[in-house]
Amino acid sequence: RMSRHAKKLRDHDINPCLAETDATTKCMDDNSYNKDMCTDYFLKYKNCRKFWHGIMMQRKRNGVKPEMPSAEERKKILESMG
């Protein structure tokens, strides 16, 4: 049974970097937890978090709710950026 926190992290509407999280975990599993083998995955995850954190802060400043866009809304944001 997953905790409420774990469930939230698995929710696409709450965690914008779910794919990056899963890819990093898989890389670590596949490479016997050798972090050096997964540097690219960690970087992608870090960049994803940084990007969406910036969007969240901007929305917060502008009084937009919810502060984290839904999965559908994030898809549109990314498409609009090319």
Domain count along the chain: 1
DSSP code for 31: T
Residue 41 burial class via C-beta count within 10 angstroms: exposed 0-12, middle 13-18, buried 19 and up: buried
More confident residue, 3 or 64: 64
pLDDT value of position 8:
77
Handedness of CA 13, 19, 24, 25 (dihedral sign): positive
pLDDT at 10 over 90: no
Q: Residue 45: which domain range?
A: 4-81
Range with the lowest mean pLDDT among 7-11, 37-41, 49-53, 69-73?
Answer: 7-11
Per residue in 31-67, pLDDT tens?
Answer: 999 999 999 999 999 999 999 999 999 999 999 999 9
Mean pLDDT of the chain: 93
Q: Is the peptide bond before 66 cis (omega within 30 degrees of 0)?
A: yes
pLDDT at 11 over 90: no
pTM: 0.83
